[in-house]
Amino acid sequence: MQGHTKPTRRSKITALHDAARLARSALLERPELCLGGLFKQGRPVALVRALLAAGAKDLHVYSSPGAGYDVDLMIAAEAVEQVFIPGVTLENRLCPNFRSAVESGQVTAHALDALTVVGGLMASAHGVPFQPIDALRGSDVLKHNPLLREIDCPFSGRRIHAVGPIRPRVTFLHAQEADRWGNLRHLSTMVYADQLMARASDMVIASVDRIVPDEVILDDPSRVSVPSHYVDAVVAVPYGAHPTASFPHYAMDEDHIDAYADLGDAARAGDRAGLDAYIARHVTGPTTQEDYINAVGGADYFARLEAEARQE
């Protein structure tokens, strides 16, 4: 139409450190950070490390119902004030820094359940003031969960519980692929709550293992797991989920996670030197992802994780 200018579409590809600075600036306004993936699968670890290197502090951390290494690392770096996550665990062992920080009072870990987190994200995504949750009757979680309120059901008059919107200021996701516009593709079935988080959040920054040409998305748009209008920035980071897995590209690095946990256990016992050296080597020291890859073990090391993923 005459007199109207066609809007210009903007590439959302962003450098890792620029994305970290963008997130840190937003989190200074409100400290709620949400992390995608689950336990040792598809966690946005490179984004977390970059945020820590950028000096983030006093964060309130949310996640899908299960988190582990990345949250523990943030606590080890003294960047977390409160945790709103039902489960923080390495699955085969406890998260040592999380445990120590909660026991000492350095970090407040709120007693939540998965229904509360998912319900709060749903309320935010749907733009409603609360989400009813009626499956917790009889549970002691009700005594300690700070996000729940008891209300009168407008239909039955019965007393039920509800959670208000959980609206993270920033959400970090990891997917296997994206185009330059920010359309994400999770190539495995491990999407978990990522789609819900994207809809619920103010800002979404995603790391991906690779950027694909526009035609890859256009040839099969049904495989887009998170569409671009929910994504503010996309960062191409090879092995960006390490040491968690990013199937089908690479498997989780159990040896690395166990070695890190051993250092955390030593710190819990009073010897923090190894943990501080780990943070310097893997978090604050590397200036590029290539530096991080070399610090972990180099290309051959990651090739073994790729081969392991192909066998599973």
Give the residue from 88, 82, 129 showing the smallest Cα distance to 110: 82
The tokens describing 38, both together, are: 């689950």
Phi-psi region of 49 (alpha: psi -120 to 50; beta: other; left: phi over 0): alpha
User: Which of the four pLDDT bands, split at 50, 70 and 90, describes residue 2?
Assistant: low
Please state, rounded to an integer, the average pLDDT across all residues of the chain.
94
C-alpha dihedral (124, 127, 128, 129), degrees to nearest 10: 60
pLDDT tens-digit map of 253-294 = 999 999 999 999 999 999 999 999 999 999 999 999 999 999
Residue 190 has pLDDT above 70, yes or no: no
User: Which of the four pLDDT bands, split at 50, 70 and 90, describes residue 189?
Assistant: low
State percent of the chain over pLDDT 90.
88
Instruction: Report the top-level CATH class of 16-111+167-311.
Output: alpha beta
What's the pLDDT score for residue 138? Answer: 76
User: Which of the four pLDDT bands, split at 50, 70 and 90, describes residue 8?
Assistant: confident
Q: Which residues of 76-111 are buried (b: 16+ CB within 10 A; e: fewer)?
A: bbebbebbbbbbbbbeeebbbbbbbbbeeeebebee
Residue that has been written with the tokens 């993923």 in this structure = 309
Residue 295 has pLDDT above 70, yes or no: yes
Give the residue from 227, 250, 146, 135 showing the smallest Cα distance to 181: 227
Average pLDDT (74-89) is: 96
Average pLDDT (17-28) is: 97
Which residues make beta-bridge pairs with 173?
206
DSSP state of 105: T
By CB neighbour count within 10 A (0-12 exposed, 13-18 middle, 19+ buried), where does 287 fall?
Answer: exposed
Residue that has been written with the tokens 């070399």 in this structure = 294
What distance in Å separates the CA atoms of residue 37 and residue 48, rounded to the nearest whole number?
13
Is the full-model pTM beyond 0.85?
yes
pLDDT tens-digit map of 35-53 = 999 999 999 999 999 999 9
Q: Is the bond leading into 248 cis (omega within 30 degrees of zero)?
A: yes
Q: What are the structural domain ranges in the chain? A: 16-111+167-311
